[in-house]
Each structure stands twice: as C-alpha cells, then as structure tokens.
Amino acid sequence: MKKRYVVLIILIICAFALIISAFTGTVIFLSGAKSEKGRPADFSSMLSDDSAPGFKKALEVRSFTFPEDSGPHPGYQTEWWYYTGNLEDSSGRRFGYQLTFFRRALSPHSIDRKSSWAANQIYFAHFTVSDIENKKFYTAERWSRAALKLAGARADPHKVWIGNWSSGKDGNVFKLIASDNDFSINLILEPVKPVVLQGDRGLSQKGGDPGNASYYYSVTRLKTEGSLKVNGSEFKVQGLSWLDREWSTGALGEDIQGWDWFSLQLGDGRDIMLYQLRGKDGSLDTHSAGALIDKDGSIINLETSQFDIEVLDSWESPDTGVLYPSKWHVSIPEYAVDLTVTPYQPNQELNLSFIYWEGAVSISGGGLSGNGYVELTGYEGSR
C-alpha cells in the first residue's frame, strides 16, 4: 500500500510540473537556456532578444521619480536589481557577495486567465558569496512566477522577492536577505551618495539603432553591515555595496558579443563605473562608456576615448572551459586614474542557467586603493 502512495505522489508531482510548464511556454527559454552545445547560454543573450513585439523600448530621456522607479516596469521585457559588495569581519577576513533579482516579461500586456497560477512575469535571482580566505565560490539561483505571491516587485514600500530571498527598503536603508544550503546573507545597506543617473540623464546607449539602450541608475556607495554565513560559520561583517538598476527591451545590438563591466570604489571616496561592449568581430564598440562619481556624488560621464582597459592575465574555467580575462590595467588619464584591478580569487564564474563571470576585485596603483566588482559576459565562444 505504501508503494502505491509513493507512486501516486510521484505521478501528481510530474503532472503538476507539466501543467506549470504548459502555462508559460517561453519559460523553457528562461529557466533552461542552452547553447548549441547543450550548455547554459551566455548571459548577454538575454539582452539581445527583442523578438516579441509590443514591448516598450528605451528611446529617449525620461524623468526618474522615486520611489516609483525603484519598483517594476512591466512594459519593458527585461529588468534587474543588482547588488554587489565587498565585506570583511573584525579580523579582516574578506568576502564578496552578489544578489541580483531579474524580471522577465513573457508578453507586453497582461493576459486574463482564470488560473491563479497564471502570470506573464517571470522572476529569477542569482546569489553568490566569495570566501576569499578559503578560495571558495558559492552560487545559487531561483526561478518563480509573479503569481500567488511566489515572486514579485513593488515600489512603495520597495521590495523585490522570490520566496524568502528579498531586497527591500525600510526608510533610507536597504535590507538584503538570501540563503542556500551552505551560505547566507542578512545585510543592511545605507546609501552614502545620492542616486546616479548613468549615460544621458539615465538613458544608457548600448548600440546605434533606436532602442539599443536601457534606463540605468546606480547607487554607487552603500555602507553595509550585517551577518554572513559560509559552511556553518557565521560572521559579523561590514563594508561597501553597489546597486545597479536597469530596464530595457533588446538593449544590445546584433553585432555585440558581450561586455566587461567594472564597478570600482576607491579609498579616496570616488567611484568608477566602466563598461566595454565587445563586437563579434573582436572590436570595441564605440558605445562603450563610463562614469566617474566624485565624493559628493557629482558625476562625470566618460566616453570610450577617455579610458583604457588593458587585459594583463587570463583564467580558464575548469568547469566550462571558458577563457576569461583575469587582471586589468585601467586608466583614465584626464583624471589621474591609473589602476591595477585584480580578482581576489580567479574562480568566480556562475555556471547556472546562464554562464558569466562576476567577482570581487582589489584595486591598487597610482597612490590609490579600493575594492570593486567585475562582470564578464559573452566569453563562451572562447572555449
């Protein structure tokens, strides 16, 4: 009799899974995106897809208002809330973390369905911790639909969540909570600088065609404290975090292979954001750009000709065979910036539903020091 119950339960679970898959169809692309070789797809491919008509595009400068723009923008196909940070405990033991919530629309308009499971917004999240001392890199991801309160986002009071993973705002501070089997964070982030509108007053151009752009703002310096757990040990930590917010539809041009993105927090109080867009022919796209954010939060926009990023070393992933840059010389001559950027550990590759490298880095050179994060996408073709 017990065996019959077990079989019945298995059949119910399988049927339930099939029903859920049938509801969305295109979720198969999102939750199990695969390359031609059967491996996870590269992350940048998500921003090149604008096949579904009817979505809004980032076409012109707009006014940003808060808290409204801290919430979701469902008329656009893709959106994210991106937190990264460098932390340490009282003994100086270092950690890096990333917690990112993504929203992906399946259709540009809500579809009226009777089922309470129905949804046209899918949320997924990536969570990582870099244990620098032990050279361990922990990764986890979650997927869910914006139905039955399983996942979602709101503006006021601000919150984004998938299950018990969440980022929210309480007054002026952000709260981040996420946990997996071997690691977790519970952090409070307090902005030290005001919101920065990247690009042209928040319109960040990623290509030459109309719509090859995103709406993009950052909070580049957040004083951070709280607790972090790895492998059964808990640490009280403090440090600095960075928040990036973008929403768009098909932001990247068809000729873009991927990008190298840098968020650098200098010890003198300045912050730097740079991104290089790499063409499929190996060239550097002229829409690569950046910003230098001064101590008081004022922003200096940087064009491609004003900065240089030279690769000094590389690292080959033993898991995917992808070859990534792994050390850089970053210079902004006009503003006396001459830096060496080095990963705290080479293996900070996310091999999840998408493949990309996102890791904590140290900064030195030119009398400057600091920490940051680097994101590398579109290198899957290097294997």
Q: Is 25 left (phi over 0), alpha (psi -120 to 50) or beta?
A: left
Backbone angles phi, psi at 116, to 5 degrees: -75, -10
Specify the 3-state DSSP secondary structure of 256. strand
Q: What is the pLDDT of residue 148?
A: 80
DSSP structure class, residue 31 = H
User: Which pairing describes strands 151-155 and 158-162: parallel, antiparallel, or unpaired?
Assistant: antiparallel
Distance of CA 190 to CAs 153, 158, 241, Å?
A: 20, 15, 9
Task: Write down the pLDDT at residue 380.
Answer: 86
User: In this predicted structure, what is the pLDDT of residue 48?
Assistant: 52
The token pair that represents 226 in the structure block: 């709280």
| pLDDT < 50 positions in the chain | 1-39
**Torsion sign, CA atoms 194, 125, 212, 253:** positive
* Pairwise CA distance, residues 123 & 371, whole Å: 29
CA dist 353 and 149 (Å) reads: 23
pLDDT at residue 16, as a whole number: 35
Size of the chain, expressed as the number of residues it contains? 383
| Spatial contact of 199 and 289, defined as CB atoms under 8 Å apart | yes
Burial readout 84-117 (b: 16 or more C-beta within 10 A, e: otherwise) = bbbbbbeeeebbbbbbbbbbbbbebeeeeeeeee
Residue 210 CB contacts under 8 Å (≥ 6 apart), including other chains:
57, 59
Q: Are 141 and 83 in contact (CB under 8 A)?
A: no
How far apart (Å, rounded) are the C-alpha atoms in residues 349 and 375? 10
266-287 pLDDT tens trace? 999 999 999 999 999 989 999 9
Q: Are 290 and 299 in contact (CB under 8 A)?
A: no
Greatest C-alpha distance within the chain: 78
pTM: 0.87
Residues 158 and 160: their CA atoms lie apart, in Å, by: 7
- Beta strands (DSSP E) in 231-367 are 233-248, 256-266, 271-279, 289-293, 299-303, 308-316, 323-332, 337-343, 349-351, 354-365
What is the reported pLDDT for 28? 32
Continuous H helices in the chain: 2-24, 27-31
